[in-house]
Amino acid sequence: MSLSPSAATLPSVSDSLPDSAQRVQMAAAQLGLDIAVREMAHPTRTAEEAALACGVTVGQIVKSLVFLGSTSGKPYLLLVSGSNRVNEKGVAAHLGETLTRPDAATVRDLTGYAIGGIPPFGHAAMLATSIDRDLLQYDVVWAAAGTPRAVFRVDPNKLQAATGAVIITVT
């Protein structure tokens, strides 16, 4: 008897993922981004936790941060290196308006995900997306994939291209 059943009889990897993580996997496929969402044994709720769980530096973790334009009310998504703090004045100058931080419930409405698991794409609303140029120095970065344990690894240049993110300096 074969110990390795054919691929057709095995569930795909994503079948064992929570619904939120599966949605991220599907959104990636729609963008033509070849990633594998995985659930880690340890929490990845913050950049620091994710770096530990993934065995990479904090700088290689993608923080997906939602802001609102003070004037327009328009939602913005900033993809920021885990080791960087956003200089809101500098980013505001780039975006053309000052920014506010929405509360957790608003972030959930806009993205479809809870804070700690917000992915860099596949959101409920259209989010004008910018990416921290410091992320582009790495061969591989890791981002959240819908839950506080789900992540995926990706070439940051491919992430930028797939999301159409504008490359900015956030610090």
Residues lying near ligand 5CA in the complex (CB under 6 A) = 44-47, 50, 61-65, 101, 103-104, 107, 115-118, 143-144
- Residue closer to ligand 5CA, measured from CB, 37 or 107: 107
Residue nearest to ligand 5CA (CB): 63
Q: Are strands 141-144 and 61-69 parallel, antiparallel or unpaired?
A: parallel
Amino acid at 44: T
Pick the closest to residue 24 from 166, 123, 102 (CA basis). 123
Q: How far is the CB of 138 from ligand 5CA (least distance, A)?
A: 14
Q: How far is the CB of 171 from ligand 5CA (least distance, A)?
A: 15
Amino acid at 3: L
Residue 105 burial (CB count, 10 A): 10
Strands (E), 22-134: 38-39, 61-69, 75-81, 99-100, 128-132
Helix (H) or strand (E) holding 90: helix 88-95
Q: How far is the CB of 11 from ligand 5CA (least distance, A)?
A: 25
- Residue closer to ligand 5CA, measured from CB, 94 or 101: 101
What's the chain's length in residues? 171
- Residue closer to ligand 5CA, measured from CB, 12 or 106: 106
- Residue closer to ligand 5CA, measured from CB, 14 or 46: 46
Q: Are 143 and 121 in contact (CB under 8 A)?
A: no
Q: How far is the CB of 86 from ligand 5CA (least distance, A)?
A: 8
